[in-house]
């Protein structure tokens, strides 16, 4: 029986890739309160709590215009999951590096007998956030999406039709860092019930992702206890993944935990275990 490594966009079967049906047509990137009439009251939202003293040390955040980027870092994860009733264990890492003008990110998940999946993103840093140039996804072979900003389009290497490129669009890896930067720069967006929507570009298609802020909690993880902000992407169609993210201020608002689940009971749970130099 083949096993599956799953990341935020789509499950992948080893060694053969498997994609889920496309989602709804993408919408322009936006961040809105769940009640639009309260948008003008955002300034009154209290400051978000900070992580406790046992949280790991992290490189200082970098400010670029209105943006607060997490410092360059490498986060290691312990991964557990279930595929068709079969349990598995894996390891993973999120590498994030930047020099204030250019960035690169890499998410790698792998285990013995399961194989390895690597997603990579690189691009520019602007006052409004990350501006991806190329996103790639590699299991056995690599497929990629190219962001042609001056022409407002996305070109896919996998012989897929071009897609329109919306302002503020992210790829399905840079979205992690963009969310981290948004919460660090604009604490009012951490208010429970806030909805954040953006165009998220994969290696084969462009979709719209909507995250709802669920609130703060404290997690016991393999790497220790952290205060985290939970946000959720709920399924909108059959075969969609439910994505739960726990973002940690002590990790520069990068994910301390990612849990993806499907209606059939399959899931993958990625939990922070260690922070290393990039």
Distance of CA 136 to CAs 58, 105, 162, 174, 261, Å? 27, 11, 16, 11, 23
Nearest to 252 by CA among 168, 169, 170, 176: 176
Identify the helix (H) or strand (E) that includes residue 179.
helix 174-185
Q: What pLDDT score was predicted for residue 26?
A: 34
Q: What pLDDT score was predicted for residue 75?
A: 98
Q: What pLDDT score was predicted for residue 169?
A: 97
Q: What pLDDT score was predicted for residue 166?
A: 96
Q: What pLDDT score was predicted for residue 40?
A: 37
Q: What pLDDT score was predicted for residue 158?
A: 84
Nearest to 233 by CA among 216, 254, 217, 209: 209
Q: What pLDDT score was predicted for residue 247?
A: 97
Q: What pLDDT score was predicted for residue 66?
A: 65
Q: What pLDDT score was predicted for residue 9?
A: 54
What is the domain range of residue 109?
4-276
The total domain count for the chain is: 1
Low-confidence ranges of the chain (pLDDT < 50): 1-6, 11-64
Q: What pLDDT score was predicted for residue 12?
A: 37
Task: Round to whole Å and give the CA distance between 153 and 82.
Answer: 37
E-strand spans in 99-191? 102-111, 115-126, 129-138, 142-148, 153-156, 163-164, 170-171
The answer to whether 190 and 236 have CB atoms below 8 angstroms apart is no
Q: Within 13 A of 99's CA, how many CA atoms are on the CB side?
A: 4
- How much is the pTM? 0.77
Q: What pLDDT score was predicted for residue 128?
A: 85
Q: What pLDDT score was predicted for residue 123?
A: 98
pLDDT in tens, 69-127: 999 999 999 999 988 888 889 999 999 999 999 999 999 998 766 688 999 999 999 98
The tokens of 170 are what? Answer: 């992210």
The tokens of 214 are what? Answer: 């669920």
The tokens of 45 are what? Answer: 């939202």
Helix, strand and coil content of the chain, in percent to the nearest 5, comes to: 10, 50, 35
- Residue for token pair 């059959």: 238
Nearest to 268 by CA among 30, 47, 67, 80: 80
Cβ neighbours of 229 (radius 10 Å)? 23
The tokens of 115 are what? Answer: 């194989």
């Amino acid at each position: 029986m083949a096993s599956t490594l799953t990341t935020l966009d789509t499950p992948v079967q080893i060694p053969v890739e498997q994609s889920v049906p496309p989602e709804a047509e993408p919408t322009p990137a936006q961040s809105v309160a769940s009640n639009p009439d309260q948008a003008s009251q955002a300034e009154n939202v209290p400051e978000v709590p900070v992580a406790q003293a046992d949280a790991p040390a992290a490189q200082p955040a970098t400010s670029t215009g209105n943006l607060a980027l997490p410092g360059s870092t490498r986060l290691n994860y312990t991964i557990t999951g279930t595929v068709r009733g079969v349990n598995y264990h894996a390891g993973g890492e999120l590498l994030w590096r930047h020099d204030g003008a250019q960035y690169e990110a890499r998410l790698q998940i792998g285990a013995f007998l399961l194989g390895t999946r690597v997603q990579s993103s690189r691009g520019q840093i602007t006052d409004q956030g990350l501006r991806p140039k190329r996103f790639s996804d590699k299991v056995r072979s690599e497929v990629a999406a190219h962001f042609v900003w001056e022409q407002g389009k996305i070109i896919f290497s996998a012989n897929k039709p071009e897609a329109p490129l919306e302002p503020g669009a992210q790829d399905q890896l840079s979205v992690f860092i963009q969310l981290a930067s948004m919460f660090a720069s604009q604490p009012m967006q951490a208010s429970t019930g806030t909805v954040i929507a953006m165009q998220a570009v994969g290696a084969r298609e462009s979709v719209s992702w909507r995250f709802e802020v669920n609130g703060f909690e404290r997690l016991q993880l393999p790497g220790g206890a952290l205060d985290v902000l939970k946000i959720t992407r709920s399924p909108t169609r059959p075969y969609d993944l439910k994505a739960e993210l726990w973002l940690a201020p002590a990790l520069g608002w990068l994910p301390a935990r990612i849990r993806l689940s499907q209606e059939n009971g399959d899931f993958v749970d990625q939990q922070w275990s260690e922070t290393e130099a990039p």
